[in-house]
Amino acid sequence: MSEQFRPRIHFAPQRNWINDPNGLVFDAATELYHLFFQHNPFGNVWGHMSWGHATSADLLHWTELPLAIAEDEHASIFSGSIVIDHGNTAGFGLGAWVACYTGCLRRPEGGQAQGLAWSLDRGLTWTKYAGNPVLDLGLREFRDPKVFWYEPTGRWVMAVVLPDERRVAFYGSANLRDWALLSHFGPTGCTMAIWECPDLIHFPAAGEATDRPLASPTPLGGGASPDASAGAIDRWLLKVDTFEGHPAGSGAQCWVGRFDGTRFQDETEAFWADHGSDFYAALSFAHLPAGRAPVWLAWMNQHAYAKDTPTAPWRGAMSLPRELALCKTGDRWRLQQSPVSTEVLRGSPRHLIGAGLVDKAGDVLELRWELDPGDADTSTLDVRCGPVGESTRIAIDHRRGLVWIDRSRSGLVPSAAHWEGRREQAWGGATGPLVLRVIVDRCSVEVFSGDGYVALTEVIYPGERSLDLAVLKQGRGDWRRSELTLWTLS
Ligand code: FRU
């Protein structure tokens, strides 16, 4: 914790570079969450891609373990997923953990193909399958397999991207070794740049509009309640990242639709999972207990400037894990994201009623802002404010019905590309009370609306003395009520 910017409640490696989360899996026997990740064991820039490994009991405190799957003379190890093979379909052993990853091949013509590795000790040590690659189309770009068991057809399904074609391909297999093409999805949505890191997530039942874990009586945007009849309808969320085309650069686009074991049929337009700059390559946990809502986390960064971020000897961190729900209001499906509960980390709450300043509020904070804006124009919350005019501004433009964040004056700027500018997201209603939740760590700000429809994630690199916080009202009009609750997290 003596290193400047080292996050307290987000995963970051002890040393060296990370990018995408890989192979997220919950181990029911030990009740541990396993996080694997793209890792360079030798330096803090991208390269020598291998899978690092960490575990957590609460999704907030992580223990880093030895490197799990290392690059070798055949391939470096790109992104992928893990399944637990309870039926020994692949023949590696009953209950073997099987990692399905992209090998970035070291043959003269290059290329990417899908390979397997297996573990019989709950992910600690791995053996690469001698028959790798198991799915090779002879393509230069073909990657990021997300594998899951599809019970109705009794087979494994893989979602994998053809980045240049802006397509997700679905493959099926009985044994994880032999794969047959099922269907393609795309090109559609944002096709400006390559696609990466698909995930297909099942929601057996549609969600209620909730503010878990901080029960909220007043959802942001208020008014619309979820369509109760949607409760029984199962839907899937398809997510794929694009390298460009998101308002902030790269980002995660999603569709809600149906999946029949062969084909994904979208029922929505493409939408962004997060409107901030730093939520990429999100992956959901496999093998969560039945009845648990899906949980995902993302690499909290973007390739445009990741290599210039001013941290050492580590570089890169993961977002907070988020619980997911799908909610239908009228005929519109929306994704709700609620960050994992931080209750166990909270000190005693402090309150700020109305506008004002909190001196030395801290650098690891959770904020809950309940606001009844009345006829106010704009309400702002400045965090990590410091002596030289530093601050990261979160604002609500009540007239336009927008939440935005601006880190132009937040501190160190890693590079000109994709750094400055407002990242904004519309919120449902135009009037009424609202709730914002903000989680500040030592190099990040994550903003959520109380009902989970708004998510904005940004990394920042403020000075160590930038610890103040301010609530302000701008323009004309008056609030009916503004109450900020503040917890230090440790
Ligand atoms: C996304 C990505 C993946 C690839 C990995 C390589 O950030 O480019 O498509 O598998 O990173 O590190």
* Region 108-114 average pLDDT: 94
Domain ranges of the chain: 12-137, 344-488
Please report, rounded to a whole number, the percentage of residues in the chain having pLDDT higher than 90: 87
User: What pLDDT shows up at residue 161?
Assistant: 98
Find the mean pLDDT for residues 170-189: 98
| The Cα angle at residue 37 between residues 159 and 63, in degrees rounded to 5 | 135
Tokens 């029960």 sit at which residue? 215
| pTM for the predicted model, two decimal places | 0.95
**What is the percent of the chain with per-residue pLDDT over 70, rounded to a whole number?**
94
Distance CA 23, CA 122 (A): 12
50 CB-near residues (< 8 Å, 6+ apart): 39, 40, 41, 67, 68, 69, 70, 71, 76, 77
Evaluate whether 432 touches 480 at the Cβ level (below 8 Å): no
For 421-448, the pLDDT digits (tens) are 999 999 865 567 899 999 999 999 999 9
Task: Name the residue of 16, 17, 20 whose CB sits within 8 Å of the most ligand 1 atoms, as the mutation to test its pocket.
Answer: 20
Q: Do residues 38 and 22 lie in contact, with contact meaning Cβ atoms separated by under 8 Å?
A: yes
Residues 381-426 have pLDDT tens digits of 999 999 889 999 999 999 999 999 999 999 999 988 899 999 999 9
- How many whole angstroms separate alpha carbon 374 and alpha carbon 479? 5
d(CA 263, CA 217): 39
Transcribe 259-310 into DSSP letters.
E-SS-EEE-S--EES--SS--EEEEEPBSPPTTPPPEEEEESS-HHHHTT--
Tell me the HSE value of 309 on the side-chain side, using a 13 A CA sphere.
35
Classify domain 344-488 at the CATH superfamily level: Exo-inulinase; domain 1 (2.60.120.560)
d(Cα 251, Cα 276) in Å, to the nearest integer?
8
Query: Ligand 1, closest atom to CA 49?
Result: 12
Token pair for residue 469?
Answer: 């916080």
pLDDT for 210 equals 42
**Using CA positions, which residue lies closest to atom 9 of ligand 1?**
196
Q: Is 144 in the pocket of ligand 1 (CB under 6 A)?
A: yes
Atom of ligand 1 nearest to the CA of 197: 9
- By CB atoms closer than 10 A (0-12, 13-18, 19+), residue 154 is exposed
What is the reported pLDDT for 223?
A: 35
Residue 223 structure tokens: 């008014």
Q: What 8-state DSSP symbol labels residue 322?
A: E
Ligand 1: nearest atom to the Cα of 161: 9
User: Of 20, 199, 274, 382, which residue is the catalytic one?
Assistant: 20
Domain topology for 12-137? Tachylectin-2; Chain A (2.115.10)
Active site residue 241: no
Residue 324: per-residue pLDDT:
96
Query: What's the chain's average pLDDT?
Result: 93
Which residues have a Cβ under 8 Å from the Cβ of 2 and sit 6 or more positions away? none
Per-residue pLDDT tens for 34-85?
A: 999 999 999 999 999 999 999 999 999 999 999 999 999 999 999 999 999 9
pLDDT of 225 higher than 60:
no
Q: What is the pLDDT of residue 232?
A: 55
- CB 191 within 8 Å of CB 240: no
